[in-house]
């Protein structure tokens, strides 16, 4: 069984990356019918609601008995953690959603993937956590890759609204990972995931009614992309990630999940027929290499 799961684990992780890569296309298609807060609000609520039965059945199967004091503290930690993590996800996912108004899914995917390089950088700046040399090599290469992606077909570096939104999104997602690292040990993973999606959904829907004019007809036209992003991207892929990481060596797991950005380019090309310039493809390759290098474990010093 253990040997079988060592094979299934990586398959689940690459499946999660494929689902997330295709989700970039779904998000782009959804924006043809509805605006950003509308798409993100509904899909996040769907993602959270789909996970509620999972939480219910898990709690029934493995009930945890706590004292009244411990239960109160546990509830307090859950609410605080879910609100903070959910807020960061809400900011990042909405910035990403609006980036699709200006640039193609593949480019959004690769710029968003910068968060993998920003997490160790922020950890070093804020928490003074020492980082291996591979991290700094990855950061330098990542900046070079971003430069080429933002050059496009121009002869000089230029940042449009889409690139700026995607970069801000990557910062928000980096902070999202950092706060998850803080609260994940205290909160059940599926409870945290469900809660963050519900927070994102509720806040996005409030912003939808303030800044947008949601139309039920348009929402129905965007039903397939919304359902895919809500059920497959938020719920299924997350579950695949949890199970897959349990049976996969951490470095291999992170590298497999990195392929999300590659799949975003592939599916954008196949489904939408969108193409980037030669220099942009080179930039994507450089950035993907940077992410892989940054995930490599540091060599342990001899005792």
Reference 201, options 9, 20, 39; nearest CA is 39
CB 153 within 8 A of CB 90: no
pLDDT digits (tens, 9 = 90+) for 114-160: 888 888 888 888 888 888 888 889 888 988 888 888 776 555 566 88
Looking up tokens 């684990």, which residue turns up? 9
Residue 79 has pLDDT above 80, yes or no: yes
Q: Give CA–CA dist 71/63, Å, rounded.
A: 13
Q: Which helix (H) or strand (E) holds 40?
A: helix 36-61
Closest residue by Cα to residue 29 from 275, 274, 272, 276: 272
Please report which residue ranges of the chain form alpha helices under DSSP H: 2-30, 36-61, 68-99, 105-112, 115-127, 133-151, 161-183, 189-211, 216-221, 223-227, 237-246, 250-258, 260-272, 278-295
Cβ-based neighbours of 72, under 8 Å, separated by 6 or more: none
Q: How far apart are CA 172 and CA 198, in angstroms?
A: 18
Residue 298's pLDDT is what?
A: 62
**91 or 278, higher pLDDT:** 91
Separation between Cα atoms, residue 280 and residue 275, nearest integer Å: 9
pLDDT at 279: 87
Confidence of residue 302 (pLDDT cuts 50, 70, 90): very low
- Binned at pLDDT 50, 70 and 90, residue 58 comes out as confident
Q: How far apart are CA 194 and CA 182, in angstroms?
A: 17
DSSP reduced 3-state for 259: coil
242 pLDDT more than 60? yes
The number of beta carbons lying within 10 Å of the beta carbon of residue 204 is: 23
């Amino acid at each position: 069984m253990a040997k079988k799961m060592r094979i299934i684990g990586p398959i689940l992780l690459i499946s999660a990356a494929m689902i997330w890569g295709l989700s970039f296309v779904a998000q782009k298609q959804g924006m043809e019918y509805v605006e950003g807060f509308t798409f993100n609000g509904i899909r996040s609520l769907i993602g959270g609601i789909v996970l509620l039965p999972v939480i219910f059945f898990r709690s029934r199967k493995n009930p945890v008995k706590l004292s009244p004091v411990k239960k109160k503290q546990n509830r307090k930690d859950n609410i605080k953690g879910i609100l903070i993590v959910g807020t960061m996800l809400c900011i990042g996912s909405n910035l990403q959603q609006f980036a699709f108004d200006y640039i193609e899914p593949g480019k959004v995917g690769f710029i968003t993937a910068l968060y993998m390089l920003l997490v160790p950088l922020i950890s070093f700046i804020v928490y003074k956590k020492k980082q291996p040399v591979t991290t700094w090599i990855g950061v330098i290469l990542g900046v070079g890759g971003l430069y080429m992606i933002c050059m496009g077909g121009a002869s000089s570096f230029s940042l449009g609204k889409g690139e700026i939104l995607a970069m801000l999104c990557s910062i928000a997602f980096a902070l999202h990972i950092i706060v998850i690292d803080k609260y994940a040990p205290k909160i059940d993973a599926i409870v945290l995931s469900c809660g963050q999606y519900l927070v994102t959904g509720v806040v996005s829907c409030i912003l939808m009614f303030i800044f947008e004019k949601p139309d039920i007809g348009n929402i129905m036209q965007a039903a397939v992309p919304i359902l895919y992003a809500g059920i497959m991207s938020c719920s299924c892929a997350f579950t695949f990630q949890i199970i897959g990481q349990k049976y996969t060596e951490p470095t291999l797991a992170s590298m497999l999940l990195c392929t999300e950005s590659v799949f975003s380019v592939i599916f954008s090309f196949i489904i939408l027929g969108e193409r980037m310039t030669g220099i942009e493809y080179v930039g994507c390759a450089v950035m993907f290499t940077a992410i892989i290098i940054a995930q490599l474990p540091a060599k342990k010093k001899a005792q």
